[in-house]
Amino acid sequence: MDNNDSIPQATVHTVAPQANSGACTASFSGRMAPRQVLALDAAEAKRTSVTFRRLDPRVALGIVLLLNVTAFSSSSILFELAAMGGSAAAMCWSGRTRSALRWLVAYAALLMLSTLFVAGGGLLAPFGASVTMIRRVLCIAAFASNMVATTRAGELACGLQRLRVPRKMACALCVMLRFFPTLGQEFRCVLDAMKVRGVALTPLRLLRHPLQVIEHVLVPVVARVGIVADELANAAVVRGIDSDASRTSYFDLRIRPCDFVFAVYFAALTVLVVATRWGVLV
């Protein structure tokens, strides 16, 4: 019997790369129906077309520094609202509207709690001060989380090299960029493992057995943190991030109009905050 008769044949059709995704799709025809082939092609095109718009990493790092100055120099709730609104606008522009809404809801909740604690006075005043400090730095955390979620490690390495940042510092920043998403993934894996073992993390269980919940969550995560950090550092070293040679980059970083708009907005906000702090503006 001929081998060609017993083995189903598959024909590969390669489609030219699309401008948005930059990926090639392949469809296999053999025993598949045409509808199945089209469905697979559509699913692959949809998966590869999901991308985020990104700020230039150099601009994003500068904005993080400006937000630190704004958060710790501001004495007005209006400046806090402007900083938080700018961070939420950057998230929405990047295509992360749901994350922006979650951060805004968290800020509103902290604002209400701090107001209630401060108005209550007495024993609640220290809690009000703590919540107020968390509320002030929330704009920094929101913008930094958006930067981590949308910036590629290669883009950050290219930007740091163009800024003449020392290689050791650049290596640490690139590892840090991937560390937090990986740590979040480890947390999710631990929570899934707890559900499988019948010890799911619930508010009731946290109130009834707090020490047991902390043991079940933190011990595996802490044990993995060191391993994950070593793996990320080794991956960066294998890619030659500590090499003395001049690095080339796949990415062509350029300051675009959107980068300029966000940089001007946060820079103007920081200037207003500092000028108000020093009495130049009343």
Q: 277 pLDDT band (50/70/90 cuts)?
A: confident
The stretch 212-230 carries a mean pLDDT of 82
Q: Is the pLDDT of residue 41 over 60?
A: no
Q: Where are the alpha helices (DSSP H) in the chain?
A: 3-6, 34-49, 57-73, 77-93, 97-120, 125-136, 138-150, 153-162, 167-196, 203-208, 210-238, 257-277
pLDDT in tens, 251-268: 778 889 999 999 999 999
- Round to whole Å and give the CA distance between 21 and 49: 5
What's the pLDDT at 51? 61
pLDDT in tens, 65-116: 999 999 998 878 999 999 999 999 999 999 999 999 999 999 999 999 988 9
* Most confident among 117-121, 186-190, 267-271 (mean pLDDT): 267-271
The stretch 29-43 carries a mean pLDDT of 42
Report the DSSP beta bridge partners of residue 12. Answer: 28
Contact 101, 126 (CB under 8 A): no
The stretch 48-60 carries a mean pLDDT of 75
pTM, to two decimals: 0.70
Residue 95 corresponds to which amino acid? G
Contact 190, 217 (CB under 8 A): yes
- Round to whole Å and give the CA distance between 211 and 222: 15
Segment holding 14, helix H or strand E: strand 11-14
* Most confident among 51-60, 218-227, 258-267 (mean pLDDT): 258-267
**CB burial readout 118-154, b (16+ within 10 A) else e:** eeeeeeeeeebeebbeebbebbbebbbbbbbebbebe
Q: Range with the lowest mean pLDDT among 102-106, 214-218, 274-278? A: 214-218
Domain positions in the chain: 3-49, 54-174+254-282, 183-240
pLDDT in tens, 138-154: 999 999 999 988 888 88
- Chain-wide mean pLDDT for the chain? 78
Report the DSSP beta bridge partners of residue 29. Answer: 11
- Round to whole Å and give the CA distance between 134 and 139: 10
What's the pLDDT at 10? 42
Q: Is the pLDDT of residue 60 over 80?
A: yes
The stretch 10-22 carries a mean pLDDT of 41
Half-sphere exposure of 35 (CA within 13 A, CB side): 0
The structure tokens listed for 20 are 């948005």
Q: Is the pLDDT of residue 27 over 70?
A: no
What's the pLDDT at 134? 93
